Amino acid sequence: MQDQDLSRRQLMRWLAASPLLSTLSAQAEIGSLNRQVLKRPDPMVWAPNTPLDLISDPSQAINVFDFEPVAFNKVPTAHFAYMASGIDDEVTLRANRSAFLNYALRPRRLRDVSKIDMSLSLFGKRWDTPIIIAPTGGNRAYHPEGEIAVAKAARAGGYLNVLSSAAGSTIEDVIAARQGEVWFQLYATSSFEVSKQIAKRLDRAGVPVMEITVDRNGGRNQETFARLKRLDTRDCASCHTHGFGSRYERPIYDGIDFTDVKSMSSSNMTWEFIRRMRDVTRMKLIVKGIQTEEDAELCLKYGVDGIHVSNHGGRSEDGGRGSIDCLPEVARVAKGKVPILFDSGIRRGSDIFKALALGATAVCVGRPYLWGLGAFGQPGVEKVMSLLRTELMGTMQQMGTPNLSAIEPAMVART
């Protein structure tokens, strides 16, 4: 029996490298084997590859990749696939990781790094770390406690938490679970009136900052999602009673008049939307999804309070540039004028350091904490964030930077 198990594992590892299975065949038997053995959709090669390697407790994790295959085994196939997907050929999804390899670190020596201070101030609030929990939708798809578990993990680690308007929990409940400041990320519809009503609700809840997403304007072809969800035998209608991604699944829309809404997307949004939003809320406004210096200049022209460099984790367009490659040109325009947030592809503390050196004020982490959530709930999220924080501290020590202000652009070289 041991010989048979060994032979089976060797066969499946060979098949994993074969074009025969590269498209994740929808046949039930092969799908079951894929779910147990094959490499995961995230474009990294270091994650545990077989069920024999999987961690059974967050304390066993060595890096954030340890959580992905556990989540893959625990989370319903379609739910995991939605989170893991890029779009089209997933060139941008892969570039978000590979582009970090284009930047090498240039450490400085003989500096006192016996104490590391990672704290920073954002809009008058002091945070212990520049690592932020990014807004991600539908967290209950990965764990029953969803955004509440994430908020509790943010509270335990002292992290800034940004709630998505695609969340399955209310902003009020998340604030109560976080017991502290929570920011909000807005997906605008075709109606400004809907966004205005949401802004008023956020003002009443005491939300200090709203991020307006500007890089999700239309449809998308999520091929990994489409292929993997064929392997999910559940009746989706039992959960998505009004259709996948409908407004009824998003409590931020409860009680809002949708009479004038022609589309749930914001394809009609212009810079005038930013100006009008400034007039209806006291929140600070950050524009999320900026990738060019031209748009960074327009952000400053229209008086935004912050810029978020992001390509939506490779989930909006398949243009090919990694998000880290977009950061320097935005920083040339905006650094020192407004805070610059960054996301897409962060998996290591060294990634965070590179982003900070290239101009980011703080970085947002998305998929890794969802792996932790899907694998172990709140403890998984806490461990993922702790690992990144520990790695960043070690990188700062090796780079000779006792605090964030000591991190300089010259410490990163384009290779």
In this predicted model, what pLDDT tens digit does every residue of 223-247 receive, in sequence order? 888 888 888 888 877 777 666 676 7
pLDDT-derived band of residue 15, with 50, 70 and 90 as boundaries? very low
pLDDT of 17 above 60: no
Segment (H or E) for 145: none
The answer for 337, left when phi > 0, alpha when psi is -120 to 50, beta otherwise, is alpha
Q: Please give the pLDDT value at position 218.
A: 76
Can you give the pLDDT at residue 242? Answer: 64
Look at the block and give the residue holding tokens 């690592």.
131
Q: 160: which strand partners?
A: 132
Position 5 scores a pLDDT of: 54
- Measured CA to CA, the distance from residue 109 to residue 407 in angstroms comes to 13
Contact 261, 255 (CB under 8 A): no
pLDDT of 23: 39
Q: Tell me which residue of 374, 362, 376, 406 sits closest to 129, measured CA to CA.
A: 362
Distance separating the N- and C-terminal Cα atoms of the chain: 50
pLDDT at 73 over 70: yes
Q: What residues pair up with 103 in beta bridges, in sequence order?
A: 414
Region 15-31 average pLDDT:
42
H helix runs in 38-136, sequence order: 67-74, 77-84, 91-98
Domain boundaries, the chain: 96-414
Strands 125-127 and 120-122: antiparallel
Flag whether pLDDT at 198 surpasses 90: yes
Helix (H) or strand (E) holding 161: strand 160-164
Q: How confident is the model at residue 6 (pLDDT cuts 50, 70, 90)?
A: low
How far, in Å, are 94, 265, 347, 393 from residue 360 at the CA level?
21, 28, 16, 17
pLDDT at residue 32 is higher than 60: no
Mean pLDDT of 86-91: 93
Does pLDDT of 24 surpass 50?
Answer: no
- pLDDT band at residue 260 using 50, 70 and 90 as cut-offs: confident
Does pLDDT of 300 surpass 80? Answer: yes
Residue showing tokens 């060595």: 62
Distance of CA 332 to the CA centre of its chain: 24
Ramachandran assignment for 96, one of left (phi > 0), alpha (psi -120 to 50 degrees), beta (any other): alpha
| pLDDT-based confidence at residue 258 (cuts at 50, 70, 90) | confident
User: Do the Cβ atoms of 96 and 355 come closer than 8 Å?
Assistant: no
Rounded CA gap, 358 and 335, in Å? 10
At residue 18, the pLDDT reads 44
Which positions are catalytic?
312
Average pLDDT over residues 7-11: 49
Instruction: Please determine, for residue 315, whether its predicted confidence score (pLDDT) is greater than 50.
Output: yes
Q: How far apart are CA 157 and CA 385, in angstroms?
A: 8
Cα 18 to its chain centre, rounded Å, is: 30
Asked if the model's pLDDT at residue 97 lies above 80, the reply is: yes
96-414: CATH superfamily: Aldolase class I (3.20.20.70)
Evaluate if residue 90 carries a pLDDT over 50. yes
